[in-house]
């Protein structure tokens, strides 16, 4: 795929504020937060989602989503494209899995889930929590869904929720 096309496609799909929050783990308040590139006590780092840019009035750092990743991760431009691409699971660039690979991995995961359900039925096990838990653990086996951040996150969140239920309910 043409690199310019990939760049523009990614630019259209990714919200600057979402990317900044995901990477820094901080929350923007009214488009503003403490600058991740210099030390400060009052926020002077701004994000403009309409324009898809960030700018810090304190240290003068600014740019688009790719520039942000380049600076924050200390990577090249193409490194930033690949990073964002796989972070969101788009599968557009050569450095991240293709859509075909994504579909295949999802099929494998779905098949595993079906097998788990069949097994559970054989054991006449109707405890949904125990059943769902095993499904998540299976899906999280390394190498299957790992490269697909969205699916991977889905199962991690599911498992975390079940961990919580199991602990609370004394299962």
The residues binding Zn ion (CB under 5 A) are 35, 37-38, 56, 58-59
CA distances from 124 to 97, 120, 130, 131, 133 (A): 38, 6, 12, 11, 16
Q: Whose Cβ is closer to Zn ion: residue 71's or residue 156's?
A: 71
Of the pair 54, 155, the CB lying nearest Zn ion is at: 54
Residue 79 Cβ, how far from Zn ion at the closest point, in Å?
Answer: 22
Q: Tell me how far, at minimum, the Cβ of 22 lies from Zn ion, in Å.
A: 19
Query: Which residue number, 59 or 113, has a Cβ lying nearer to Zn ion?
Result: 59
Asked whether the beta carbons of 158 and 138 are under 8 A apart, the reply is no
């Amino acid at each position: 795929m043409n690199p310019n096309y990939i760049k523009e496609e990614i630019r259209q799909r990714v919200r600057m504020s979402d990317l900044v929050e995901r990477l820094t783990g901080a929350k923007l308040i009214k488009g503003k937060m403490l600058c991740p590139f210099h030390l400060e006590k009052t926020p002077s780092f701004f994000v403009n989602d309409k324009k898809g840019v960030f700018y810090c009035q304190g240290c003068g750092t600014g740019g688009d989503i790719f520039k942000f990743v380049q600076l924050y991760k200390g990577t090249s431009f193409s490194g930033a494209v690949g990073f964002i691409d796989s972070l969101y699971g788009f599968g557009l660039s050569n450095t991240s899995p293709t859509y075909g690979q994504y579909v295949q991995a999802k099929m494998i995961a779905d098949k595993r889930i079906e097998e788990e359900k069949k097994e559970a039925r054989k054991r006449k096990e109707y405890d949904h929590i125990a059943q769902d838990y095993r499904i998540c653990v299976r899906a999280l086996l390394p190498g299957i869904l790992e490269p697909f951040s969205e699916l991977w996150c889905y199962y991690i969140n599911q498992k975390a929720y079940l961990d919580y239920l199991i602990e609370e309910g004394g299962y």
